Amino acid sequence: MKPSLKRRLWHQITGMLVPAWLVLGIVSVVLYRGSSFGPWLMVHLLLLGALTTAILVWSQHFADSLLKNTAPGGRYWLGVRLTVHTVGAAMVMIGMTGAWWYAVLAGGILVGINALVHATILVQQLRGALPARFSPLVRYYIAAAGCLVVGVTLGILMAHPGSTTAGDATAAADSYERLYIAHIGLNLLGWVGLTVIGTVALLLPTVLHSRVLSTTTAAARPTLPILLAGLVVLGSGSYADSRIITAAGVVIYLVGFARVLRELVEHVRRSPAVSYAGWSITAALAWFALCAVGFSAVVVTAASWSDAAAGLEALVPYFAVGFGGQIMIGALSFLIPVVLGGGPRASKATARELDRAGLFRVAVVNGALVLTLLPLSDLVTDVLGAVILATLAFFIVLMVRALRINRKNRTPPGSGLPPLAHDVAAVPAPPPRSRLSMVVAAAAALALTLAIGVALDPSGVSLASGSGSKATGHTTTVDVTMADTRFSPDTIDVPVGDTLVITLTNTDGMLHDLVFNSGVESGSVEPKATTTVEVGVIDADLDGWCSIGGHRLLGMLLTVNAVGAESADSDDSSQLRHGAMGSDPSEGTLAADDIDVMAEPGSDFVARDARLAPTAPVTVHTSTMTVRNTETEVAPGVTQMLWTYNGTAPGPVLRGRVNDVFEITFVNEGTIGHSLDFHAGSLAPDKPMQTIDPGEELTYRFTATRSGVWLYHCSTMPMSVHLANGMFGAVIIDPPGMSVVDQEYVLIQSEFYLGHQGEEGDAIKVATQRPDLLTFNGYANQYVTAPLTATVGETVRIWVLDAGPNESSSFHVVGGQFDTVFSEGEYLLRDGGSTGTGGAQALAMMPAQGGFVELTFDEAGTYPFVSHVMSDAEKGARGLFLVTG
């Protein structure tokens, strides 16, 4: 096989990796449309898959050419590196799709190691090369690879379910958002941005057939330190919890980019683009500059890290498609004819095919991107997105056709040397009339796209809430107050077509605001202040909420009902962050939407009795446990169809002594197979723990040989779903010599992953570990409504079990101190310990662990008890002790 043929086959084989990733991106859009996970997958298939693959191939190609020094191992080892990256990136995608974090971890490590190897090889090449005019540009590729290593590491941390959930809820949320902002900055501005800046300094003049300026190297050499300084400052600001520093880092980066951009603009001015490659690369650079400016503006003007992350999230599609997609396809459209070669005839024919309808394609993509910036409905935006996707995907068709055309028009190689870029004849510039016709055709295509979108959603071009309705000329003015994390009134009825004006007064002692899903915002309202919110003409129902940290979760919601309007559904914007591993249910009434942790239960509510019955004076304990599907209220106004033992979740509490025998008749009256697993027994699980079908029963007999508080649960797979849907309980085996106390209570912490109202839980939420409620004894905050009682001077023992299935617990009584702590079969502290004055503040438990604590209340009062994983306490894992004198 001749060298030129080897070279051509190499580029044909590696060149198909990029289209393969693009095809997977198209498939993901179809399969995950409407899912909150879909945009994340699409963006990562484009950036981590297609664009990163192209960077690995072509940065190595350019380094070889600029340094005139082939990389160690040549194409073979580059092929190995591409394989490693492809496997790693695929593992990340699969791991995120299936919520398998260890797959994400392994894939991320492969991608990061591959980037390190890439950088190391480039360093070796640079050191071994003779001085060359443009060799400093290779340093951009080395620095970019370093950014990818750090960016991937941040992504792995973000994807880990427990990396940002511990401690204070607001701090945990901020931690995630800061990781997200640094992740985006280092990957888009660092890995992609540095690579592109180091490449276009030479590539764009070549595409435009413009002479490279003598100042290019001089501009590039000091520019890289400025860009890197900006990225370091950006990352430092995120780490130091300073949005100002983070934004300053982006500004420093923009200063460096402006040095290169100024020369590129001069090239465009002297030699305007006449091909698809030139138009596409120029448009991509414009989007990159605009998005980088937007990055800085969003971070510096945001009121919180959460707001900054939300604003940046809105920019990511423009970074990915406007910049990443266009720079990649534009560059490939120019480079493919160069590397395939085959003589002037083949090169011209290949280039001509890749340039087909070039101006039309660029105008459609960029025009549609601009239109998506307008406040259009989701459906119209989806139609525009489909047009953008189809137009970019047309490159795949042209690439396949170009490869066939190249084969047909090749001339036998003479010396076997590939033609240089400047030897490939430029694609003839389309005449002005042809260019005008393509622009007109693009405008017509966009107008038709909008017409289709409006036909599917007639209100889709409303520029404000309700602007699609005929205004009545009447203004409805409503006074709304904010206090105690509530809007009053929280529902406003407005005749369709009326203009709504809200006089908003904050009578509370804390900061609040009002945000509508139409985009209208009040801005922050200080305590005791009043502001006016002009909502606009109302033609559809609106949802409003307070966006201050956590207030929306606490039920600070406002609804505007458009009286006389047709009902319409509204959707929350898609999320691209790593935290969205999976998707929420998309149809029906979601129980999670009705959570109000500050609400009071109905008048007929009866809290589960937490008092622990004394140990029965028998040595054989017999009971029947029957599985029933029971619709159960788990929070005020929130019901789920639970799978229960004896009709309750948790199931009945069993109690005995060491060496007592428990004989359980297990009956399945449910609708699917279930089982029992008693941790209090030590025996082979094959028979007693087997799954039995509806209508069947079995006998489960075990001897309790060890003391402690033991979990029992259904072990039928998926075990996490069965446990999360109510199939758990506790067995308490008294340790010998246990002290006599005045009061005993038992609290079992568990999680709910809510599905639709009155239906079973959401298995995807369980798998991705995103609980909606944390409860003691199966109902959120029930012991706030019905406090547990004690008397001053009494010794109170509290047995606590973490049933899981996923969340840990740290049981704490506010205002109390434990003088005795028994955990997992052992006293950690008893009667103040060896000093007699020792105390404990919390009982720490992982899922399926438990114990008890003892304390004495010295004063009358109300003592809260919580899981000190505070975000869990705020989701319902809290209660009160009411202590009387």
Asked if 852 and 811 count as a contact pair (C-beta separation under 8 A), the reply is: no
DSSP 268-311: HHHS---SHHHHHHHHHHHHHHHHHHHHHHHHHH-SSHHHHHHH
In the 3-class helix/strand/coil scheme, how is 747-789 assigned residue by residue?
Answer: EEEEEECCCECCCCCCHHHHHCCCCCEEEECCECCHHHHEEEE
714 is in an annotated binding site: yes
- Count of CB atoms situated within 10 Å of the CB of 102: 10
Of 773, 847, 751, 765, which is closest to residue 99 (Cα–Cα)? Answer: 765
Tokens 């945001």 belong to residue: 302
727 is in an annotated binding site: yes
Q: Whole-angstrom Cα distance, residue 764 to residue 773?
A: 15
756 is in an annotated binding site: no
Residues comprising the chain, all counted: 885
Alpha-carbon distances of 770 from 37, 93, 151, 549, 715, rounded to whole Å: 14, 19, 24, 18, 21
Q: What torsion, rounded to 10 degrees, do the Cα atoms 756, 581, 309, 36 define?
A: -50
209 is in an annotated binding site: no
Of 351, 331, 382, which is closest to residue 38 (Cα–Cα)? Answer: 382
Of 854, 820, 813, 858, which is closest to residue 836 (Cα–Cα)? Answer: 820
Taking 3-state DSSP, the helix, strand and coil percentages for the chain, each rounded to the nearest 5, stand at: 45, 20, 35
- Looking at residue 883, what DSSP letter applies? E
Asked if 21 and 295 count as a contact pair (C-beta separation under 8 A), the reply is: no
Which pair of tokens denotes residue 343? 């003589």
Alpha-carbon distances of 562 from 155, 266, 321, 589, rounded to whole Å: 42, 54, 37, 20
Of 361, 313, 307, which is closest to residue 523 (Cα–Cα)? Answer: 307
- Sign, CA dihedral 518-520-523-529, equals negative
- CA 25 to mean position of chain CA atoms: 18
Asked if 773 and 848 count as a contact pair (C-beta separation under 8 A), the reply is: no
- Count of CB atoms situated within 10 Å of the CB of 634: 24
Q: Whole-angstrom Cα distance, residue 169 to residue 154?
A: 20
Parallel, antiparallel, or unpaired: how do β-strands 728-734 and 773-776 relate? unpaired
Beta bridge partners of 157: none
96 is in an annotated binding site: no
679 is in an annotated binding site: yes
Q: Whole-angstrom Cα distance, residue 866 to residue 809?
A: 9
Of 204, 193, 203, 287, which is closest to residue 249 (Cα–Cα)? Answer: 193
Residues annotated as binding site?
674, 679, 713-714, 722, 727, 868
Binding residues for Cu cation: 674, 679, 713-714, 722, 727, 868
